[in-house]
Amino acid sequence: MRIPTRVVLAPMAGVSVQAFRRQGRRFGAGLVCSEMVSCAGLQHGNERTLGYLRLGRDESPLAVQIFGSEPRVMAEAARMVEDAGADVVDINFGCPVRKVTKTGAGATLLEEPGRACGIVEAVADAVSVPVTVKMRRGLADGSRAALAVGPRLVEAGAASLTLHPRSAKQMYTGTADHSLTAELVELVDVPVVASGDVTSRARAQAILATTGAAAVMVGRAAQGDPWRIAEIVGARSDTPSREEVVAELVLFMRETARELGTERATGFLKKFYGWYLGRGRFPRPFKQELLVLRTIADVEERLFVAAPGARDVLARLEDEQPDIDETLLDLPISIYGGG
């Protein structure tokens, strides 16, 4: 499959909802990814987990990331993901969070190469779409586990590898060691995506040039800042106006409320206010003012008071939105209303 740009929007837990992915595609991401989906949750028919398989045609190309530790369960989940309309099944061997690693999933699997390869082989045999793997360098600082297991994952059926060259122990501290990415590129004959510290066009170009990676993955830098994606792909370099910022935030809020339901979206959206309104775009107290407002409608109204011209920008953005064309498995109707 062809990816139209060399920028991939990262899968981020608690962030990569459909509205976030759609926005990423509009601003130039060549591939967007769902937040990681529990294979156990899919197996047991958990409604919240199944809701992650709400996919829109306009998101394509889209990867859905799954995590787990049992090859059979992962394979069945991958079939569900393909049936839901995903273009790529991505396997998480990189999550450093304790509640994931303690189950034998995520970054832990880099220390169990036999099981990791068994998972990739089972998933690749189960689906017809490409299977990719996202991983960290290993569990401990200085680990080179990714270099040992990477070629074996390709032999097992991985069509592409994404490397975030921090250890699980590091979490998001320190810097990503992309010399390790360059070594992985030399070891495998599939595209490698470089993840970690991709914060600007100059940084992305430097990483691509020094590692030989096929693409870069943008994560935290895009939170509340889709213009960063546009800057990295070379589509624009100017700073967004207040009106643009508010219009994009309100559109994001409305799309998220439609997806999650108003009640869930109200709490979910609060972290985004700081991400959008920070970076010197609005005074710091303004974000705090929004956090105490009771409803999303109240937040919208306050935003429009701060930037009245945003209404016109928003109207244009909504006119440009494609008709909603979503694919879902035969799921409980409550998922459509937010679970």
- Distance CA(81)–CA(115), nearest Å, equals 21
Find residue 66's DSSP bridge partners: 37, 91
CB 29 within 8 A of CB 218: yes
Sign of dihedral through CA atoms 168, 172, 176, 177? negative
Is 95 catalytic? The answer is: yes
- Distance CA(288)–CA(114), nearest Å, equals 49
Closest CA to 228 of 272, 251, 198, 195: 198
Phi, psi of 129 (to 5 degrees): -85, 165
Consecutive H or E run containing 163 = strand 160-167
CB 71 within 8 A of CB 118: yes
CB 216 within 8 A of CB 187: no
First CA to last CA distance, the chain: 33
- Distance CA(143)–CA(330), nearest Å, equals 43
Catalytic pick from 33, 39, 95, 117? 95
Residues tagged active-site: 95
